[in-house]
Structures are given as structure tokens and as C-alpha cells.
Amino acid sequence: MVGGLRLSVWARPRRVTRGVATARLGSRGEDFQARMTEYPRPVRPFPSLVADPSAGAVRRATVALLASAGVPSADVDAELLIAFVSGLDRAQLQTAIVLGRPLDPAALDALGEVVSRRMAREPLQHITGVAAFRRIELAVGPGVFVPRPETEVLVQLGLDELERLEHAGGSVAAAAGGPVVVDLGTGSGAIALSVATESPASRVWAVEASVEAFLWAEGNRRRLGLDNATVVRGDLGDALDELDGTVDLVLSNPPYVPDDAIPRDPEVRLHDPELALYGGPDGLDVVRVLAVRGAELLKPGRLLAIEHGERQGEQIRELLTAAGWSEATTIPDLSGRDRVTHARRHG
């Protein structure tokens, strides 16, 4: 028993050696099955026991446990885990904390297991099965990249561009019925499905190479009921050739971690698919593919926007400019770090 909670005993995860990341989203004819870590599984669960079952006491004990394991945002994660096992939303849990209400015994029984999993640094979103992103909730789990808040900057940029095109008028909303948006390397569908939700007049296409991630994205599209979005399994380097020259906006959050840069956080290193992380020796292999494919897809003057690491903006601006793109510009995320570079197709 630690901090008032009795935890499950968990097996250690077996780490799979990453090796050289040769399977790329932009590689043609490759096997796109990402090598995955074997997740820890419970050996024998014990019921969670707390001396004080009030919501506030349980929260304090859970925060202490998560913090002791080095979990970032232990306060937030504790509340989300308690809310998850209790069948409450976070606001309802906070009300229970203020009023000193006890938690249901069944919730306490379940809490020890999920806290153990989070202490083993399994992603919170894998435990709850859900990732909140802008106005939508996405189902996520093993085999798909968990969307990050930083990517919301990319989505907002895209929505701002669509609004600009709408105000500019012209041929954007021509006979086909609205602007065409393509998300290359969609993962869970976070970018594409957010755009489809917030810009319902748009026709959004999402491309994903990984079988597992494709299934997550298509499942999310169906759950959200987005008839203006289409998810396609394919190589982002040549998918959707039927749309060449007709697209108004291309967005992408490609793999951009250099092959020899091992992420520090276990949630990323052990659980995110390699295919979604590693982008070649300098992290820009897929960006180079996007520079070519984006120009093929877009109408003249339309925008390509790419998420990237905080030290890659200058390289990407130079790469895009050398490839014939104009107005290459880098913008920061909410923490002030360079996060998205965009440019316009020349012509």
C-alpha cells in the first residue's frame, strides 16, 4: 500500500529495440507495420483500499503516487483517472471534492489498477481510451500516435486559411461544393476530423499508411458522423493522385524526430508508433516528400502547412524555398517554440 492506495502488481514492459527506422510514411512499397512495445500487463490485481474514501483524500493520494513515479501533470492526470473510474466528468469530480463526498467503492477498486498503469508510464489516453483535441474526442490506443495540444496550432492555421479563402471569394466554393483539404499522415484523424468538424463546408481527405492508425482514424470519423471527411489508407507520397491540382489546403504532422534522437518521455519512447515518430537522419525525410507531393496536390497559390520540431523551422523554410515554394514562414506554438512552417505553391 502506497499513499493510501493499494496498487496492482505489474509486469515490466519488454522493450523492443528500435533500430534504424527504415519504414517511412513517404517510403513507397514498404511494410508500414510499425514495431510496437509490448505493454505491461497486470500479474495479479488487488483491490484499491483507502483509509478515507472522500474524493479529496483519494485525489491527494493519487497525485502523490503519480508524482512519485515522475508523471508530468500529476494533478491533472489524477483527476482524469479518478473521474474515469467513477463515471464522472472532471467538473463533477471537482464538485465532489469540494463537498467532501465519498467515492463509490467500485471506483476505488478500479483506481488502483489504472494508477499502477499510469505510474508505469502508459499514456493516460491509452488507459482512458480517449484523447481530447480541440472540439472533439478521439478514440486512441496502441498503434496510433496520441495527438498533442501543440498540433492545435496547425489546425487553427488551416482554419484561418479556409476563412481567408472564403472571404476572398473566387473559385474556392465552386461547383464541386467547397474547399478541398488534405491531411497527409493523419494518425488518429485529429487534424482532418477537427477541420471537418469546424469547417463543415470543406471536403476533407485524410491519408494514413499504418493499418492500425488507419483503423483508429476511420473509427473516429464514423463515431463523429463526419460525412464530409474521407479516410484513405495509402502512402502520402502518392495517394489521392485523382486530386492533383484541385486541393486548397494541405496539412501534415509528419514524423520529424531524427533517428538517433531517442525521446525522453517513456510515454513517447515506449508507446507511440515508430512510424509516427522518426523521420530519417535529420528528421526531415518525410518533409522532403511533402514538399513534392504538396505541390502536386495544391492549386497555385494555395497553402501547405507542416508541423515540426522546435529547431527545424529554418531548415524547412530553406527546403521549401529551394523546392519552389513562396512565402515560407514559421509560427510558434502556445509555449513560444517554433512549431509550424507554411508556404504557398508558386504560380
Domains of the chain: 9-131 (1.10.8.10), 134-344 (3.40.50.150)
Q: Is 220 a catalytic residue?
A: no
Q: Does residue 228 carry a catalytic annotation?
A: no
pLDDT at position 87 is 96
- The per-residue DSSP string of 273-336 comes to -GGGTB-STTS-HHHHHHHHHHHHHEEEEEEEEEE--TT-HHHHHHHHHHTT-EEEEEEE-TTS
Residue type, 245: G
Task: Please tell me the predicted confidence (pLDDT) of residue 264.
Answer: 87
Determine whether the annotation assigns residue 255 to a binding site.
yes
Q: 185 labelled as ligand-binding?
A: yes
Please state the pTM of the whole predicted model.
0.84
Look at the chain and count its residues. 347
Is position 145 annotated as part of the catalytic site? Answer: yes
Contact 324, 297 (CB under 8 A): no
Express each pLDDT in 30-63 by its tens digit. Answer: 332 332 333 344 433 334 445 789 999 999 999 9
Q: Across the strands, what pairs with 207?
A: 184, 232
| pLDDT < 70 positions in the chain | 1-50, 170-176
pLDDT at position 168, please? 82
pLDDT value of position 167: 86
pLDDT of residue 103: 94
**Is 256 labelled as part of a ligand binding site?**
yes
188 is in an annotated binding site: yes
Q: Name the residue with cell 491519408.
A: 207
Instruction: Give 172's Cβ-side CA count (13 Å radius).
Output: 19
For 267, the grid coordinates are 510515454
What is the Cα–Cα distance from 51 to 79, expressed in whole angstroms? 19
Which residue among the candidates 147, 253, 266, 273 is catalytic per the annotation?
Answer: 253
Residue 3 marked in a binding site: no
Q: Check the annotation: does 147 bind a ligand.
A: no
Residue 170: per-residue pLDDT: 53
Q: Decide if 270 contacts 13 (C-beta within 8 A).
A: yes
Instruction: Determine which one of 123, 147, 254, 273 is catalytic.
Output: 254
Out of 32, 133, 145, 214, which one is annotated catalytic? 145
